[in-house]
Structure 1
Amino acid sequence: MLGGIVAGGALALADYGALWLWLSGWDLRLDALWRLGALLLAAGAALGALGAALDHVATRLPPRLRALPFALAAAPALAALVQAALGTRLLGGLGRPAALALHAGAQLGLVGALALLAHTGGPRRPLPRRLALASLLVALVLLTKLDQRLFPRLYAPFHAALAAAAFLAAAGALVLAAREWPRLARAATPRRAAAAGAVLALLLALDLATLPGSHDVRVALQDPHASTTRSLMHALAPLVRPAPPRAAPIDAGAASARWAEGPALPGAHLVLVTIDALRADHLGAYGDRRELTPAMDALAGRGLLFERAYAPAPHSSHSLAGLMLGVHVQPRLRQGLSLPRTTLTARLNDAGYHTAGFYPDAIFHTDGDALAPLRERELDFVRRERRPFDAPRLTDAVLREADRVAARGEPPTFFWVHYFDVHEPYRADELGDTPALRYASEVARVDRALARLLEGLEARLERPLVIGLSADHGEELRDHGGVYHGSTLYEEQVRVPLLLVAPGLAPRRVTEPVELIDLGPSLLALVGVAPGPRMEGADLRVAAAGGGLPGRARAALEDQRMWVEGDDKLIVDLRRGTLELYDLAADPGERRSRADAEPALAEALHARVRGWLASLERGDPRERVLALARAGDRHAAGALAERVAREGPRPEWVRLLGELGDDAALETLRAQRAEGRAGAELAIARGRLGDRAVRPALERLLRAETPTLRWRAAAALRALGERPPASALLLGARRASSLEERRAFVTALGESEDPRATGALLALLPDLRLRVSVIEALGARGDRRAQPALARLARGTSRQDVRGALDAALPRLQ
């Protein structure tokens, strides 16, 4: 046990050494240190205790069989560990029992491997033994650094595997050190080990009991710099209940868009330019001094520049759909609400505009099924170009359309141009070969194309131009340890440039927070067209006169919600119940959360977030609990369980309790009795919460007439560690509403013995959001029929995550 504790201590020091400079103030650093130490030392103690128990069994066997218990215990667990390392999305969407089982299995595998090393003797001569010890220490350093630097914030199971391997390296080094220096082994008496284990158990219990009240520490322990601790926190998340909110929700939702006083140019051409993944801080007008964007900077000098504009989500699909619809898309989809039908384009079509859109299909990468109506209607454009052109060719295509417009007598036209070049992989290298310099090179390249676009439109068209320029999201360049986008709500991923230029619109820099969904109604207002009835964005023309803006901005990502008001920014994790509060004026890099230091302000903004989510449904105020539960707010589980106990198990209420994953609701659900759909939902919810008593009922539901019940029953059985039939898994992979669940079903198909699973996985391969998961599942199956399709994909892809998955899968299909 002491050996495991020392291994945990070594990893704790490695994590803390990488993390402490990112923490503000010695109070937070010391608090994080003892909690981090308690977690990793306790994990090491558990590892060592398990190894000691297996060793006790082994010593009672003949010498030749002493490695057998460890081998039997290690074989399946090490297989799970390898699968986690190769299948980097294995845990994404799995239920809590499956996730914990895999994590525990990986630890058991490490114990087995360590004990095998001990009982097979290892290197017997001093020199080879010392070389092996040095190799393990080098491996420990490399594994820790890989865990911290490779795909931070992405692929949780991959990082769990690296953390487990680091434990193995540390523990193996201790075994060899004990053989090299026997005095170390003699110091680890059973009494000392038991005492140390008892102290660590108390520390861990104290840590978990008091952790919910410390938002800043909980956020720090899940920072990617502390990679091993982050993996443990993910595994322990169900044991850390969120602290209850201290303030009631405040109705801070957005009303429908309203016109303000300002210039209007009926019949003017509209030009909307969006640049994928463009950070605001890479424009000279926003403070960059490298002169990357002379065209954008010149445009900014001609109209309104919004210094703090925010995308509604850090990825294209929800952000651009929100721009076109004038609403926040992700919270609506999460709460099961319908999206408006009327787009910015449709309003202009009705007003007699010719509409032409130039965008790639990749913008529907996320939630493609939910956004299918928009994709199928092609966002209501009369003319569209959806091929993935680079910036020069895309500019040529737009100018050709402008020539056609001029030849037809120049009807008022709406041009939407979406440049994709700045999105990874960054190919341009004129400024250098690092990712950051390649990114900057792409920004400069698009700016040159924009200069030619604007010059060409002004030369070809006589009507005045109303121009809007923005981005769908930003891009992280390791600002918070991560890369790319779609993983956080920090400024680098959600703050975007926003420029609005029109004749009669006086140039001005606007400091109030605004939202990308404000841009659609504002463009309509500038050409005298009324916004859609369900558009929620503000009319930004009022900024020219210096007032009238809402003064807040919101964004959403999975279980996280953001609220910016003045200089204060709050990020809420609805599932974990953590709050991050930043002063953007004093701390623009968001390095020092003030949630614990200023709890009143944090809770006031938290109440606004909950009020916003509740207000989206605009129904009976008593339905606020349901609205928050639909949003995934785990704080709503208690009130919802009380309502079920009081009014009975309505199907939706029961389903939401299962999805919120609060174990405290299980007793309420067990006390309910129902037939029909409500009874089916009760069984599924109890299964999701780990109640094995409903297994027979779930197996009966696999034969239900309703496909939705079949695949949801399969998901509940997966949460119980069972293997449902492939037919139900196929349904889930195709029909599950959330991306996380679909990935979990894809993984299950990879483990299935049903020969039809390979064909189903190949049919899912075109889905960009599932592609990595599908490749990993095909690799896990080892079915050679998948090799030609994956080989073709390998020749045509440049995405790093896809290539990494292919490199791991293809050798297994030879």
Structure 2
Amino acid sequence: MTEEHVSHHDGTVSPPADGATVSPPNIVVIQADQMAAQALGAYGDEAAKTPHIDALAAEGAVFDRAYCNTPLCAPSRASMMTGTMPSELGCFDNGDDFASSEPTFAHHLRNAGYHTALVGRMHFIGADQHHGFEERLTTDVYPADLDMVPDWDLPFDQKLQWYHDAEAVFDAGVSEASVQQDFDDEVAFRTLRHLNDRVRARQWAEAHGEQARPFLMVSSFIHPHDPYEPPQEHWDRFGDGDIPDPAHPEVPDPASDPHSHRLRAMSGFDLRDPGIDEVRRARHAYYAAVSYIDDHVGRIRAQLEKLGLMDNTVIIVTSDHGDMLGEKGLWYKMSPYEQSARVPMIIHGPEHLVQKGRYRTPVSLLDLMPTLLQLGQAPAAETRGDSMLEIAQKEAAGELDPYSRDVVIEYLAEGTVRPQLTIVRGPHKFITCPGDPDQLFDLQADPDELRNVADDPAYADVVTALRGELDTRYDLATLEDQVRASQRRRRLVAEALSKGQARSFDFDPDPEQRYVRGDFWSALKYGTIRRSAS
């Protein structure tokens, strides 16, 4: 998108200079769970087999330094959908309910005339399982109840049942069927059929002299989240030695990085460390699961092309966080290190909307909502983020560089007992948590985050600046009190709701009114999509 096509005061897209009409595009957001940027060919991994995602990246905008705002599923997704930091939402962890009164990008686009649908996973906790989506076509894969509430007052040697467990690494391997495969296969099927239904809706609107509604569809998969159990055909795409071992599997010194040791102890890696064969098998399974997701991405794109929708559809591929995959002796997420905190962010669309290229300016999942609102020609909203379309424009014009934007990452869940904050500015990443030593990494000189330079006099000004920025944004003592009070309230509520007759918050989809159970004559007349559909 060129500068003259963007109205920066309200986020709308203006007509091109030649007077051609610009209608809001359809938007397809494809989100994987725990899919690390570094495990994709588009981000330089030569072992990855992700041709469909890589093709979207080659033809679109790729943000090389995209981060989540907390490396944990539910709060990351709530933050992404609202453009608001988890601590501001009060969504601290995977057992925190997401308030219905918080506007999401689905609310905003629906209000602007879009049909909005969620297919698959979003890890909403609480009674509202839609959060602005007009339709939700599947259940979630995990419970929606207040089951996973951390307890910062619990002695650390007492583990809660739902903690991540090392068994996922030791048991990694091929599965003929699994809960996660069943779920993702259903997500893919429902996604493809929903695209058919949007074309049917357009045919109906045109036949009745009405303007067809653009659509937002979020298709959200659970792979490659642990347990690492891919199908055989995806496992077989990788031979022995195809996937590199962790570059730095050594566990950091506990005196300088106690958080990593807490995470290891929480999952049982302090008592049972996987050997190299188990590490290789788990990484093999993970890469296979990523390849499985890539196949689904390819099917979605093929369906858009078959239905003639690609010319006016923007596709966004992202994730909620990454996976350590054995680096520094860590697995899963919950860490501020790059493998856990970075996510893919690929935007593919028509030239007048998406400026093709690779961009180094740091962005985060907070920036997704303003991006979608700009694409959808919706009024701007109060948000901590900025449109990535505008960020790309400005970087291409030399108006932004990697020092121009800060990214802040919070961690307020299990595996810590105090708030952990991370700020990324330019090549520097500063991490602070009361009671832990500060950490500072120079990602340009030390991309593997092996040398903590927080006490290096040469970086004293950087530490002062980044600590000062966090101090202006946070009162850590107050935040800690808020988190602990929230945990106490939710534990009481969860305990009470488990007594007597239990009622789950889980979403139960309504029966579909298709075939001859609904409007029979409309189904016959508008349900068929001819090959010439465009």
Q: Please tell me whether the aligned partners of residues 330 and 557 of structure 1 are also in contact (alpha carbons under 8 angstroms).
A: no
Query: Which residue does the alignment assign to 1:570?
Result: 430
Which structure: larger Rg? Answer: 1
1 CA distance for matches of 2:297 and 2:326? 27
Q: Please tell me whether the aligned partners of residues 266 and 526 of structure 1 are also in contact (alpha carbons under 8 angstroms).
A: no
Q: Please tell me whether the aligned partners of residues 552 and 563 of structure 1 are also in contact (alpha carbons under 8 angstroms).
A: yes
1 CA distance for matches of 2:296 and 2:91? 37
Query: Which residue does the alignment assign to 1:346?
Result: 107
Query: Which residue does the alignment assign to 1:206?
Result: none
| Structure 2 SS opposite 1:521 | helix
Displacement of 1:377: 5.0
Q: Does 1:526 align with 2:379?
A: no
1 CA distance for matches of 2:25 and 2:471? 40
Relative distance call for 1:514 and 1:340 in structure 2 (3 A) is: farther
Structure 1 residue identity aligned to 2:290: V
Residues 150-178 of structure 1: CA deviation (Å, up to 9, x unaligned): xxxxxxxxxxxxxxxxxxxxxxxxxxxxx
2 CA distance for matches of 1:292 and 1:745? 45
2 CA distance for matches of 1:304 and 1:315? 25
| Structure 2 SS opposite 1:314 | coil
Relative distance call for 1:570 and 1:435 in structure 2 (3 A) is: same
Q: Please tell me whether the aligned partners of residues 406 and 424 of structure 2 are also in contact (alpha carbons under 8 angstroms).
A: yes
Equivalent of residue 487 in structure 2, options 705, 722, 738: 738
Query: Which residue does the alignment assign to 2:262?
Result: none
1:575-654 superposed matches below 5 A:
575-576=434-435, 578-597=437-456, 598-613=459-474, 627-632=475-480
Residues 561-618 of structure 1: CA deviation (Å, up to 9, x unaligned): 1100000001111x325311001111111111110002332121011112122xxxxx
Q: Does 1:269 align with 2:26?
A: yes
TM-score, structure 2 normalization: 0.64
Equivalent of residue 229 in structure 2, options 411, 418, 427: 427
Q: Please tell me whether the aligned partners of residues 327 and 536 of structure 1 are also in contact (alpha carbons under 8 angstroms).
A: yes
| Structure 2 SS opposite 1:439 | helix
Relative distance call for 1:414 and 1:744 in structure 2 (3 A) is: closer
1 CA distance for matches of 2:49 and 2:406? 30
Q: Please tell me whether the aligned partners of residues 357 and 416 of structure 1 are also in contact (alpha carbons under 8 angstroms).
A: yes
Q: Please tell me whether the aligned partners of residues 362 and 406 of structure 2 are also in contact (alpha carbons under 8 angstroms).
A: yes
Displacement of 1:744: 10
2 CA distance for matches of 1:481 and 1:277? 17
Displacement of 1:348: 1.1
Query: Which residue does the alignment assign to 2:364?
Result: 515
TM-score, structure 1 normalization: 0.43
Q: Which runs of 5+ in 2 are unaligned?
A: 1-7, 16-21, 142-181, 203-211, 241-279, 413-418, 507-534
Structure 1 residue identity aligned to 2:472: G
Relative distance call for 1:529 and 1:744 in structure 2 (3 A) is: closer
Residues 359-414 of structure 1: CA deviation (Å, up to 9, x unaligned): 236x13xxx3xxx3xx5151211111233454333121111111111112153110
Equivalent of residue 121 in structure 2, options 335, 360, 363: 360
2 CA distance for matches of 1:298 and 1:439? 21
2 CA distance for matches of 1:603 and 1:258? 34
| Length, aligned pairs only | 377
Structure 2 residue identity aligned to 1:413: F
Relative distance call for 1:552 and 1:445 in structure 2 (3 A) is: same
Q: Please tell me whether the aligned partners of residues 263 and 526 of structure 1 are also in contact (alpha carbons under 8 angstroms).
A: no
Displacement of 1:531: 2.8
1 CA distance for matches of 2:99 and 2:121? 25
Residues 657-685 of structure 1: CA deviation (Å, up to 9, x unaligned): xx99xxxxxxxxxxxxxxxxxxxxxxxxx
2 CA distance for matches of 1:470 and 1:353? 21
2 CA distance for matches of 1:566 and 1:572? 17
2 CA distance for matches of 1:519 and 1:420? 20
Equivalent of residue 321 in structure 2, options 450, 473, 481: 473
2 CA distance for matches of 1:461 and 1:507? 21
Relative distance call for 1:262 and 1:766 in structure 2 (3 A) is: closer
2 CA distance for matches of 1:561 and 1:293? 33
Query: Which residue does the alignment assign to 1:302?
Result: 59
Equivalent of residue 407 in structure 1, options 175, 196, 200: 200
Query: Which residue does the alignment assign to 1:416?
Result: 218
Equivalent of residue 70 in structure 2, options 309, 313, 320: 313
Structure 2 residue identity aligned to 1:350: N
1 CA distance for matches of 2:215 and 2:308? 10
| Structure 2 SS opposite 1:399 | helix
Moved over 3 A (4+): 257-266, 334-340, 388-392, 429-433, 741-746, 759-768
| Structure 2 SS opposite 1:563 | strand
Q: Please tell me whether the aligned partners of residues 12 and 378 of structure 2 are also in contact (alpha carbons under 8 angstroms).
A: no
Looking at secondary structure, tell me which structure has more strand per residue: 2
2 CA distance for matches of 1:329 and 1:524? 20
1 CA distance for matches of 2:492 and 2:326? 28
| Structure 2 SS opposite 1:562 | strand
1 CA distance for matches of 2:361 and 2:385? 15
Q: Please tell me whether the aligned partners of residues 295 and 450 of structure 1 are also in contact (alpha carbons under 8 angstroms).
A: yes
2 CA distance for matches of 1:471 and 1:334? 18
Relative distance call for 1:278 and 1:347 in structure 2 (3 A) is: same
The structure whose RCO (Cα within 8 Å, separation 6+) is larger is 2
2 CA distance for matches of 1:391 and 1:293? 17
Displacement of 1:302: 1.5
Q: Please tell me whether the aligned partners of residues 260 and 542 of structure 1 are also in contact (alpha carbons under 8 angstroms).
A: no
Q: Mean Cα displacement is larger for which, 578-587 or 458-467?
A: 458-467
Relative distance call for 1:587 and 1:380 in structure 2 (3 A) is: same
Structure 2 residue identity aligned to 1:554: V
1:5-16 superposed matches below 5 A:
none
Relative distance call for 1:334 and 1:396 in structure 2 (3 A) is: closer
Looking at secondary structure, tell me which structure has more helix per residue: 1
Q: Please tell me whether the aligned partners of residues 32 and 220 of structure 2 are also in contact (alpha carbons under 8 angstroms).
A: yes
Displacement of 1:267: 2.5
CA RMSD, aligned part only? 3.2
1:240-279 superposed matches below 5 A:
265-279=22-36
1:751-770 superposed matches below 5 A:
760=498
Structure 2 residue identity aligned to 1:738: Q
1:328-347 superposed matches below 5 A:
328-333=85-90, 341-347=102-108
Q: Please tell me whether the aligned partners of residues 345 and 380 of structure 1 are also in contact (alpha carbons under 8 angstroms).
A: yes
1 CA distance for matches of 2:394 and 2:300? 31
| Structure 1 SS opposite 2:329 | coil
Query: Which residue does the alignment assign to 2:137?
Result: 385
Relative distance call for 1:765 and 1:490 in structure 2 (3 A) is: farther
